[in-house]
Structure 1
Amino acid sequence: MTAWILDPSRREVLAGLLTGLGACATGVVGGGAGPLVTAQLALQARPTTLVLRPGQPPTPIWELAAVSHIGDVRLKRGDRCQVVFRNDLPVPLAPVWYGLNGPAAADPLRGRAPTAPDATETSIISISNAGTLLADFRLFEDGLKAPARPLPIIAREASPVAVDRDEVLLIEEWHLRPDGSAIPPGRDPKDTTALYTMNGRTSFELSAAANERLRLRFINGSQRSVLAIKLENHDVRVMALDGQPAEPFPARNGALVLAPGARADAIVDTATSAPFLLHDGKEARQIGKLAISGYRERRAPLFEPQPLPSNDLPEKLDLKGALRFDVALGAADAGWIRPASFSTASAPAFRAKAGRTVVLALKNPAPVTTIFHLHGHHFRLLDKLDDGWKPYWLDTLAIEPGQTQRIAFAATSPGRWLIESVAIDWAAPRLVRWYGVE
């Protein structure tokens, strides 16, 4: 394979990368011999518009787009993916991946500068786990001139999952001024109206036949709001959270509660047309609809879905021998800083030896709910008595005002990793620190 030229024109990027980037490649990587590249992905940061209010002009926004794919981006576990990123926006940017464990060349705050405007960069990312991933620009909120859409990325399991359809449902939050323009997060939302979309539409419709088995990948792509999403009149069985398989369990009252950036994979056996209802903590509203037409005949009845294949996270964690640290989220005197000013020369939140179990006591001193995100690892949410954990893995957690939640993870990936803290207030700044695994 010929090495990519790192600074072609926009026309060359789009023309060259749209022709067959999904095919496998072998041989030379970045000008030298290296492991096989099994997938390729062309990403572009670009301006676009979105119709958010009927009868008004489309709203200017920014987006992270996969110009190499038609429809959803679907990779597979174990891929070495060559990512070519083109920045056609007027500020330095880089996509940040959420949900990947282990070393990721896509983390721009751990020593690699973001991509300059009108420039192109190439990186190699190892897809270490199957699941629902997300890439976006949230670490660059301070420089955004418009709200930016994230990009869902699907990492398929090695063996197909027994479903009829696999659908992504991306929920996004917008704050619109009276003139129809939208403000990015981290700005004062005064005189704006909150609005939500599913897959970029204010009224989304998912068509299916009755008696179909759907895998629905719900993503809270909003930047500040904890959201509850419910499919009326259906049993919703949760199969994975934040890109990691869970012991299957029914969603309470059919509703999923997701923190900003959180993901949930659910199995639904279709029965009848039903609305998707969204609750933002203030009111419920219909955001979409499952539209049933026809009936799918089957040779055998649908049985209980089997658990998804493991991503090889540890079955047990050594809580007795764990390293324990207190982390006060967003506290001004605790070293939290805006991403634009971040440096790994700052003091870490904590350090751990590779192979140790780490327990964090996450304290929220703020008067509002605060969102915590852990890069580099997934964690277990511990029971109140610290004697066990919930039967799922997470990378994102909402912590209520004045509360403390304890989490545990196996420090298996050496390096310097970010942690994030942001209050559920549109004007609140996103803050980061780092931790070390040595």
Structure 2
Amino acid sequence: MPHRSPSPAAGSALPEPALSRRTLLGSVAALALGSTAAAAQAPARSGSPMKPAPEVKSESKPEAPARPLSAGPGTTRLKPEPAVVTPVWSFDGTTVPPVVRVRLGETVRLRVENKTDKPLSLHWHGVRNQNPMDGVGSLTQAPIPPGGDFTYAFAPPDAGSFLIRPLVIGGSSEPSGRGLSGMLVVEETAPPAVDHDLTVLMQDWRLSDDGTLLPFGQTAFAASSGRLGNLVTVNGKPAPDAVPVRPGSRVRLRLANACNARGTRIRFDNLKVYVAAVDGQPTDTFEPLRATLPFPPGTRYDLMLDMPAEVGAAGSITALVGNGLALATLTTGGEPVTGKRGAIGPIGENKLLPAEVKLQNALRRDVVLTGGARIDKDKPAAEPVYTGDAAKVWAVNGAAGTAGVAPLFTVKRGQVVVLALRNDTAFPQALHLHGHSFRLLHPLDDGWEPYWLDTFQLLEGRTARIAFKADNPGRWVIGSTVLERFDTGLWGWFEVT
């Protein structure tokens, strides 16, 4: 089957974060960790207290201690003086988002200490994780209370690029909007030879003129585009990020969107890039159509490119926001890379994913998204209006996602599932499937698109079907990656038994 470029995502207007029709319709530190044994905490059951499961002891060698990762308040300068420094939350006292790196087969073992004043849990976005480690506060674990801690210990089954995002039922947007995010990089056992392996993490911030953060919890934003920021950072610094690379070098770029709500498209200017992985999963290498890619919140790309041999050559990664916003500029300098190398090719397949998903006997379910503000078609210039319950703005199959909500469905382990996702809201919806990777199916038949995903965008008024093998036991969310929407009901869950 020939490759198809990802479906387009609508852009967002960065200069105007206020609630407007244009804004609404436009939205859509490395830690080296050794191999250790995993510990687990039992997932919650509706209406029952959460009890930790017995810790699993390694028979081969003693457990290494968990590395601490402390989330707490701090400050950073996001606007030039005379604006004040911005009060933020960060990990380990640095506003550079952490990049946790392990080799495939090693265990991530981190003791997350919550020094903020709100409950916290961390979702390892894209990892086909053990369910107790998935990090959905009040579903797969009890949220970490202020002053408390929780040890995440898991061995990622797949190599790839993944996000670290706060995810607590009813309380995800604020820790994310205050700056808590990061990346998890799981390196292949035989990674492709490159001269630079770089992470590019995009966040945005909703700031007042004096540099402080604007208030959280506004229903008008939750019911529409979410908390769109008015300043973009890359790797914790205001964009663009200047990235020095060697002349003639081969570069691996790991791009990730950790914004609260902002979706955009990204364009590659004077850079000939090849997509090697989408959402952490390798694909046959392809060039992006028109040198652009959709970039909704939660999306990740692994890109490969060769830089020119001359000193001073430059190329940019640009977000198609307004007239264009450069996120990062790569410029050659220093000692050139010499010697011949082969053409850029695939980074290798993930043999843990099925070669095909047989759909004949699939469990098929409809998932319908409703709610949010409504737009008066007779008054196209009018602002969208929402007048309902501020805690239950959105619904999935008629029920708002809240602690204790019933599952959308239950499925036996190993069963193939096909979901028909219908967006009956007035806005594009960025959606994420936990614990699994899926294939988008073609609109008119059961053929599938040529790469695995865990995050995608569904335009308003559209239906898309996804297929996956439910091979990971536990309770798994499918929900919005726009965190204000997640906090106000735009999620559901299913159980694999």
User: TM-score over 0.5 for the alignment?
Assistant: yes
Aligned to 2:447: 388
Is the deviation greater in 74-83 or in 301-310? Answer: 301-310
1:144 is displaced (CA, Å) by: 4.6
Identity %: 29
What is the rounded CA distance, in whole Å, between the counterparts of 2:248 and 2:80 in structure 1?
A: 34
Aligned to 2:357: 317
For 1:119, the aligned partner's letter is G
1:103 is displaced (CA, Å) by: 1.5
Aligned to 2:121: 94
For 1:379, the aligned partner's letter is F
Q: 2:72 aligns with which of 32, 46, 68?
A: 46
Aligned to 1:262: 299
What is the rounded CA distance, in whole Å, between the counterparts of 1:383 and 1:302 in structure 2?
A: 34
Q: Does structure 1 retain, via aligned residues, the 8 Å contact 2:199–2:253?
A: yes
Q: 2:289 aligns with which of 232, 245, 252?
A: 252
Matched, 1:82 2:109: yes
CA RMSD of aligned residues (A): 3.2
Determine helix, strand or coil for the equivalent of 1:413: coil
What is the rounded CA distance, in whole Å, between the counterparts of 2:65 and 2:282 in structure 1?
A: 23
Is the deviation greater in 360-369 or in 386-395? Answer: 386-395
Bigger strand fraction = 1
Q: 1:342 aligns with which of 399, 403, 423?
A: 403
Q: 2:251 aligns with which of 214, 224, 236?
A: 214
Distance 1:184 1:334, change over 3 A: farther
Aligned to 1:12: none
Distance 1:183 1:81, change over 3 A: same
1:110 is displaced (CA, Å) by: 2.5
Deviations for 1:263-293, whole angstroms, at most 9, x for unmatched residues?
Answer: 010001112212321113x441223311112
Determine helix, strand or coil for the equivalent of 2:109: strand
Aligned to 2:316: 275
Q: Does structure 2 retain, via aligned residues, the 8 Å contact 1:336–1:432?
A: no
1:114 is displaced (CA, Å) by: 0.9
Distance 1:284 1:381, change over 3 A: same
Q: Does structure 1 retain, via aligned residues, the 8 Å contact 2:128–2:437?
A: yes
Determine helix, strand or coil for the equivalent of 1:417: strand
Matched, 1:225 2:262: yes
Deviations for 1:174-222, whole angstroms, at most 9, x for unmatched residues?
Answer: 1111221124765356999612111112231010122111100000111
Distance 1:306 1:423, change over 3 A: closer
Aligned to 1:174: 205
Determine helix, strand or coil for the equivalent of 1:109: coil
Aligned to 2:47: none
1:365 is displaced (CA, Å) by: 0.6
1:241 is displaced (CA, Å) by: 1.0
Matched, 1:125 2:144: no
Q: How does 1:139-158 map to 2 (within 5 A)?
A: 139=168, 140-141=171-172, 144=175, 147-158=178-189
Q: Does structure 2 retain, via aligned residues, the 8 Å contact 1:363–1:402?
A: yes
Deviations for 1:118-145, whole angstroms, at most 9, x for unmatched residues?
Answer: 1222242221111111112143326659
**TM-score normalised by L of structure 2:** 0.75
Structure 2 gap ranges (5+): 1-28, 41-53, 372-394
Distance 1:333 1:354, change over 3 A: closer
What is the rounded CA distance, in whole Å, between the counterparts of 1:316 and 1:82 in structure 2?
A: 33
1:260 is displaced (CA, Å) by: 0.3
- Higher normalized contact order (CA 8 Å, seq sep 6+, divided by chain length): 2
Distance 1:186 1:210, change over 3 A: farther
Aligned to 2:13: none
